[in-house]
Amino acid sequence: MSVPSASLRIGIAGLGTVGSAVLANLQHNAERFHAVLGRRIEVTGVSARSRTKKRNVSLDGIAWFDDPVELAASPTIDAFVELIGGAEGPARKAVETALAAGKHVVTANKALLAYHGLSLAKMAEAENVALLFEASVAGGIPVIKTVREALIGNEIRRVYGILNGTCNYILTKMQEEGASFDAALAEAQELGYAEADPTFDIGGMDAAHKLAVLTSLAFGTRVAIEEIHCEGIEHIRRADIEAADELGYRIKLLGVAQRIDGAIEARVSPVLVPKDSAVGEVSGVTNAIEIEGDYVGDLLLVGPGAGAKPTASSVISDIVEVARGDCLKPFIVPAAKLRPHKKATLGAHRGAYYVRLLVHDRPGAMASIAGRMAEHDVSLESIVQRRPRKSDAATPAKAAANNTMQLVLITHDTVEASIRRALKLIEQDGKIAGRAQMIRIETL
Amino acid sequence: MSVPSASLRIGIAGLGTVGSAVLANLQHNAERFHAVLGRRIEVTGVSARSRTKKRNVSLDGIAWFDDPVELAASPTIDAFVELIGGAEGPARKAVETALAAGKHVVTANKALLAYHGLSLAKMAEAENVALLFEASVAGGIPVIKTVREALIGNEIRRVYGILNGTCNYILTKMQEEGASFDAALAEAQELGYAEADPTFDIGGMDAAHKLAVLTSLAFGTRVAIEEIHCEGIEHIRRADIEAADELGYRIKLLGVAQRIDGAIEARVSPVLVPKDSAVGEVSGVTNAIEIEGDYVGDLLLVGPGAGAKPTASSVISDIVEVARGDCLKPFIVPAAKLRPHKKATLGAHRGAYYVRLLVHDRPGAMASIAGRMAEHDVSLESIVQRRPRKSDAATPAKAAANNTMQLVLITHDTVEASIRRALKLIEQDGKIAGRAQMIRIETL
């Protein structure tokens, strides 16, 4: 097994906290990697927005490029490490340039892969170079390597997990400290866990990008971000957290991808999971992913889903893999053989549901609601009715809160289209204040 | 990145449940692996004890070898898969023969690696072939790949985990159903989780073999099974499980390897862990490993630690890696550069301890025990004294049980040599019945 003895020359674009950590790690491990690989890994070029910004890492002897695309095309590098971010703009341009120039690419860019993964994989395969992206999903957790390599003998049935630390932090705060959504979000922003514009995280899009990548790897389908159903946590209230808790559940933003009758159901949404389940117990910014394979059974990975050093750990793993030599294709099977992502209709989803309604305290309301459920063959496993607390009020319902009772229903397994129709009619019947809250209960 | 286009020809020695599952998987995935790798993986030879035994897998077109060593030497194979087991005998002979003949080796044999890992690694490196052993530690959990590849940029501070499913099953039964050790063991044997002679599992040696392999990979030291401190669970009583439970702990057989002042403390023993810790919550035959690295932080892997299909999943991963081409060296750094395993003295271990004593119910006993602890600078965090239940009696103490009080002590952090000396004197003082029970409390 011969390894090329020449150095692997690396160009790094993006020298924020992750890029600086990657550079520092490569410098620190230079001799060790040389001993392990029989060749050196040398950073020969870097590119970032500010050349003068103070960094805790030396750039001595490394060529500076103002333009990442120029670095990507430079004959002075063999592999391009993209840590710029964003699905378009310089990140995309630079990665495409590097691949077209026959350079290996390592990236942490989930958006780029979610939108352009298929075309980039084709480019990489055409040039016979590596395209690796361990850091793009779940930070320091080696979930990509696990699905690509460790479980390659498995048919994956389902993969699911907590893929966004910001949302899990907010939900944990609401759970453990009784914080409101707004207060928990503000705290996450203060601690740097959430962006000034947090829409991308709390709306579920960040997790959806990651799930799109995982889905493709797990099921051998083309990356298809547009086929991922995406709901965020912005409508979760303390009342939901509390009601779920009383019933033995936690609310988590979960990405779930599973095979359903030859199609794929892939969705990001808040769900109820049992308190004592593996993902139910994961708190704060930690990520967790469970993979179910026909040979391995259930495999759970838990670790830091973000942060400079954990992310750098994954980038380094990819760089060393490039330096080793032969890599598997970006999405395991050749891009031309990836199957179309055949989306399962979410309306056909079977499962149990949590429903919370603020019911006008008038005679016949309960009978009307129960009737609508029965009409749609939705049977109920549990019903909890009580006078709502102040914390229960979602904005549209606030005014009405004083004359309402909170009704929490857990259904038996039913079809999503049925429960949705029943709830729509219940809303139209005028027996409830505001909208019905419906959350899937995940079978783990 | 060119991949050899010729088939990879595999010889499998050992066709028990694991070997049959590996063969079935390779047959099932033949076309998929061809597409992924650009070359075929073909099983060209097999060897097992009985040629006529009924197996759920076809051996058509595969050459049969009565002698695994002959298979290992055969020019008809490129890679040898050893699933025979045992540190010596045919397994060792066959693996050495295969390596000497320049063939790649994939093995699930932890004992072989624990005793001969260093010399086998040297042989593999001399011949420039792969020696891979994912299935040797924690069954289907890809812990070896994770340490070798995913965390290659990390300095590992500590690795610990539940590495023996049999012991965890027994401890879980004692915990959840109040079973005695003997009853739980008998049940594990009935279910096929424990061998007819269970000494190897319950005495901790199985876990010690795995920890020896993990320690070498994590710390870059020579495999040194003789330096692994090993205690089993045979002395754990229901009284310990119950007392630990009351104090918020679970008792687990843990393998722990950590750096202590430039040396390595590596030990397998029952320990107390917090109930709500990740490993505290792992029940039954499941395995769990936590790895602490300077970049990644804490990474937890949980999954099936044994069983035919999970083990086959890991073997297949190794075979595909061999088929890919360049592999890292068996213990990451070249065998000649592995450092000696410098053993930390366990007497210098600092931590808290759980102590259970059956104290003769006579005036002055408590004062004497407390005095001995104080003499050795052992301070106590908690003391629980009560009349023992029937379940508390360890065999030597049974006779005395009626006149004794059970005393459970939790110490503050102290040095192991001190608590050991104190307990030895307490035993000699004659104030307690039988021996003192001492269990480390693990800081997680």
pLDDT value of position A298 = 98
For residue B194, pLDDT beyond 90: no
* C-alpha span between B128 and B122 (Å, rounded): 10
Cα A268 from Cα A331, distance rounded (Å): 21
pLDDT band at A2 (very low <50, low <70, confident <90, very high): very low
- Check residues B397 and A226 and name the one with the higher pLDDT: A226
**Cβ atoms within 10 A of the Cβ of B421, count?**
16
User: Predicted ipTM?
Assistant: 0.95
Q: For residue A399, is pLDDT > 70?
A: no
Q: Is the pLDDT of residue B3 over 90?
A: no
Contacts of residue A244, Cβ cutoff 8 Å, sequence gap at least 6: A250, A251, A272, A354, A439
Does residue B1 register a pLDDT over 60? no
Annotated domain spans of chain B: 8-136, 145-304, 347-441
How many angstroms separate the CA atoms of A360 and A274, rounded? 30
Those of residues 210-229 in B touching chain A at CB distance below 8 A are: none
Q: Report the gap between the CA of A213 and the closest CA in chain B (Å).
A: 18
End-to-end Cα, chain B, rounded Å: 43
Computed over its alpha carbons, how large is the radius of gyration of chain A? Answer: 24
For residues B245 and B175, the answer to whether their CB atoms sit within 8 Å is yes
Q: Which CATH number fits domain B8-136: 3.40.50.720, 3.40.50.300, 3.30.200.20, 3.30.70.1230?
A: 3.40.50.720
Residues within 8 A of B (CB atoms), A 90-129 only: 128-129
* A295 to B309: CB separation less than 8 angstroms, yes or no: yes
CB contact under 8 A, A302 and B304: no
CA–CA separation, A53 and B95 (whole Å): 55
Whose structure tokens read 């901790």?
Answer: B204
* A438 membership: H or E segment, kind and range: strand A432-441
Position A398 confidence tier, pLDDT thresholds 50, 70, 90: low
Measured torsion, CA atoms of residues B375, B378, B384, B390, in degrees rounded to the nearest 10: -80
Q: What is the pLDDT of residue B399?
A: 44
What does pTM read for this prediction?
A: 0.95
Whole-angstrom Cα distance, residue B254 to residue B235?
15
Q: What's the CA gap between A245 and A239, in Å, rounded?
A: 10
Q: Which of A3, A145, A301 sits opposite B149 (nearest CB)?
A: A145
**Contacts of residue B140 in chain A, CB cutoff 8 Å?**
295-297, 299
Residue A402 has pLDDT above 80, yes or no: no
Q: What is the mean pLDDT of chain A?
A: 94
Checking if the pLDDT of A286 tops 90, the result is yes
**A444 has a chain B CB within 8 A of its CB:** no
Q: Which of B159, B287, B326 to mutate to test the interface with A (most CBs of A within 10 A)?
A: B326
**A3 pLDDT tier (thresholds 50, 70, 90):** very low
Q: Three-state SS across B263-322?
A: EEEEEEEEEEEECCCCCCCCCCCEEEEEEEECCCEEEEEEEECCCHHHHHHHHHHHHHHH
Q: Which of B139, B136, B133 is nearest to B301 (CA)?
A: B139
Cβ contact (<8 Å) for A299 and B301? yes
pLDDT category at B77 given cuts 50, 70, 90 is: very high
CA nearest neighbour of B253 among B264, B240, B239 = B240
Q: At what angle do helices A30-37 and A17-28 cross, to 10 degrees?
A: 60
Q: Which helix H or strand E contains B214, and what residues bound it?
A: helix B205-219
Please give the share of chain B, as a percent, with pLDDT higher than 70: 95
In angstroms, the separation between the Cα of residue A82 and the nearest Cα of chain B is 18
**B72-81 b/e (C-beta count within 10 Å ≥ 16 → b):** bbbeebbbbb
End-to-end Cα separation, chain A, in angstroms: 43
Nearest Cα residue in chain B from A309: B295
Q: Which residues make beta-bridge pairs with A153?
A: none
Interface test with chain B among A1, A22, A41, A104, by most B beta carbons within 10 Å: A1
* CB contacts, 8 Å: A142 with chain B: 145-146, 149-151, 299
In a mutational test of the B interface, the residue from A34, A159, A313, A444 whose CB has the highest number of chain B CBs within 10 Å is A313
pLDDT at A389 over 80: no
Q: Is residue B421 over pLDDT 50?
A: yes
Angle CA B187–B193–B196, to nearest 5: 80
Q: Does B241 have pLDDT greater than 60?
A: yes
CATH architecture of the domain formed by B145-304:
2-Layer Sandwich (3.30)
Partner-chain residue, chosen from B295, B304, B333, that has the shortest CB–CB distance to A312? B295
Q: What is the mean pLDDT of residues A325-340?
A: 95
B347-441: CATH topology is Alpha-Beta Plaits (3.30.70)
Block residue for tokens 């994770």: B146
> Exposed e or buried b for every residue in A268-277, given b needs 16+ CB within 10 A?
bbbbbbbeee
Mutation target among B33, B103, B152, B333 for the A interface, most CBs of A within 10 A? B152
Write the CA distances from B353 to B31, B174, B377, integer angstroms: 56, 21, 13
Q: Is A294 on the interface with B (CB under 8 A)?
A: yes
Instruction: Identify the pLDDT of residue A326.
Output: 82
Q: In B, which residues are within 8 Å of A326 by CB distance? A: 1-3, 324-326
Q: How far is the C-alpha of A32 from the C-alpha of A39, rounded, in Å?
A: 10
Q: What is the distance between the alpha carbons of residues B357 and A257, in angstroms, rounded to a whole number?
A: 53
Question: Mind telling me how many Å the CA of B213 is from chain A's nearest CA?
Answer: 18
Asked if B1 lies within 8 A of A337 by C-beta distance, the reply is no
Query: B103, B110, B173, B210: which is the annotated catalytic residue?
Result: B210
A120-145 residue pLDDT tens: 999 999 999 999 999 999 999 999 99
Instruction: Give the pLDDT band (50/70/90) at residue B401.
Output: low
| pLDDT at residue number B391 | 56
- The average confidence (pLDDT) of chain B is 94
Q: Which residue of A has its CA nearest to B23?
A: A153
Q: Which CATH superfamily is domain A346-441 in?
A: ACT domain (3.30.70.260)
Residue B128 near residue A2 (C-beta atoms within 8 A): yes
Q: What is the mean pLDDT of residues B140-153?
A: 98
The CATH code that applies to domain A143-304 is: 3.30.360.10
Residues in chain B: 444
Please give the average per-residue pLDDT across B201-216, as a whole number. Answer: 97
Predicted confidence at residue B84, as pLDDT, reads 97
pLDDT(B390) > 80? no
Q: Which residue has the tokens 């809160």?
A: A401
From chain A residues 139-198, the ones with a CB under 8 A of any chain B CB are 140-142, 145-146, 149-154
Integer Cα distance of B145 and B321 in angstroms: 10
| Catalytic residue numbers of A, as ranges | 210
pLDDT tens sequence across B246-304: 999 999 999 999 999 889 999 999 999 999 999 999 999 999 999 999 999 999 999 99
